C-alpha cells in the first residue's frame, strides 16, 4: 500500500483510523475522481494567498484529526468573498476551535472553492461482516439522513449494476430534471461509482468511505466533502 495510496499507511502509522477531510479528498483525487479544488493553509497569510489563487467565493474548514464535527465547533466558514473576510474567518475559526478543543492537533485550514449548486447525491462504501465490501448510492446532503433513499450492491460491480443502482432509488425523477431542473449526467455518476468499486477492491484497509455531498450537473460532477475511515 506504499506509493500511490501512502496516505493510508501514514494515517495508520500515526495510530489513527479516521482521515482528515483534506487527507480524504487528496486520496479521492488520486483515485481519479473529481474533487472541488482544495488547498491546505497553515497560516492566515497563506489562507489569504491561496484564496486569491483559487478565486472567490471560498470556504475555510478546520483540518484536525481531533475535530470530527467541524460545524459544531465553529470550524467552518462558507461563502467568503474577499481577503478581509478570509482573514477574519481564519482568526475566528482558530480561536473557536482552540477554545473548545485545547488539546487538538491542528494541521491547518482547508481553503476550498465554493462549488456551483447542483443536484446533491451521495456515494459511499462500507463492509458487511457476511458479504464483504459494498457500495451505496442515493440522494445526498440532508436527504440521505431524512429520506434514507439509497441503493446497495456488493463489490465488484459493472456498468449495468451502477446504472441500476441509480435508477432504483425513489428520488430518481429528481435526477432526470424534475419540474424544469437540469437533468443530471448519469454517465458521470456511473464512472465515479465504478472507480470507487475498483478502488475498494484493491484497498482492503478502507472500512468506510463517504462522498457527500456530490454536486451533480448535466455533464459533470464534483465532490464537495469526503470522509474515510480505515481499519485499525
pLDDT digits 0-9 by tens, 71-98: 888 999 999 999 999 999 999 999 999 9
Could you tell me which of 134, 83, 75, 120 has the C-alpha nearest to residue 100?
A: 75
Is CATH 3.30.470.20 correct for 119-230?
yes
> 212 or 69, which is more confident?
212
pLDDT digits (tens, 9 = 90+) for 129-173: 999 999 999 998 766 666 688 999 999 999 999 999 999 999 999
For the chain, domain boundaries = 37-113, 119-230
Give the separation between CA 114 and CA 58, rounded to whole angstroms: 5
Q: Is the pLDDT of residue 1 over 70?
A: no
Q: Is the pLDDT of residue 2 over 50?
A: no
Task: Return the pLDDT at 7.
Answer: 92
CATH topology classification for 37-113: Dna Ligase; domain 1 (3.30.1490)
pLDDT digits (tens, 9 = 90+) for 166-214: 999 999 999 998 877 899 999 999 999 999 999 999 999 999 999 999 9
Between the CA of residue 48 and those of 42, 56, 98, 203, what are the distances in Å?
A: 11, 11, 20, 36
43: left (phi over 0), alpha (psi -120 to 50) or beta: beta
Q: Are 190 and 162 in contact (CB under 8 A)?
A: yes
Amino acid at each position: 500500500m506504499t506509493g500511490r495510496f501512502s496516505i493510508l499507511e501514514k494515517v495508520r502509522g500515526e495510530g489513527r483510523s479516521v482521515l482528515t477531510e483534506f487527507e480524504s479528498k487528496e486520496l479521492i483525487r488520486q483515485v481519479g475522481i473529481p474533487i472541488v479544488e482544495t488547498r491546505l493553509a497553515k497560516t492566515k497569510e497563506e489562507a489569504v494567498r491561496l484564496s486569491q489563487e483559487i478565486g472567490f467565493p471560498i470556504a475555510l474548514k478546520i483540518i484536525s484529526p481531533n475535530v470530527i464535527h467541524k460545524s459544531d465547533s465553529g470550524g467552518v466558514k462558507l461563502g467568503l468573498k474577499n481577503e478581509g473576510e478570509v482573514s477574519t474567518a481564519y482568526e475566528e475559526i482558530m480561536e473557536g476551535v482552540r477554545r473548545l478543543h485545547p488539546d487538538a492537533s491542528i494541521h491547518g485550514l482547508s481553503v476550498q472553492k465554493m462549488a456551483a449548486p447542483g443536484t446533491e447525491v451521495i456515494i459511499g462504501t462500507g463492509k458487511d461482516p457476511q458479504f464483504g465490501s459494498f457500495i451505496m448510492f442515493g440522494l445526498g446532503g440532508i436527504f440521505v439522513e431524512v429520506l434514507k433513499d439509497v441503493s446497495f450492491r456488493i463489490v465488484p460491480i459493472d456498468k449495468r449494476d451502477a446504472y441500476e443502482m441509480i435508477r432504483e432509488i425513489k428520488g430518481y425523477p429528481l435526477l432526470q430534471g424534475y419540474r424544469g431542473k437540469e437533468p443530471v449526467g448519469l454517465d458521470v455518476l456511473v464512472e465515479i461509482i465504478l472507480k470507487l468499486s475498483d478502488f475498494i477492491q484493491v484497498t482492503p484497509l478502507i472500512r468506510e468511505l463517504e462522498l457527500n455531498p456530490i454536486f451533480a450537473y448535466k455533464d459533470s460532477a464534483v465532490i464537495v466533502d469526503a470522509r474515510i475511515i480505515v481499519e485499525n
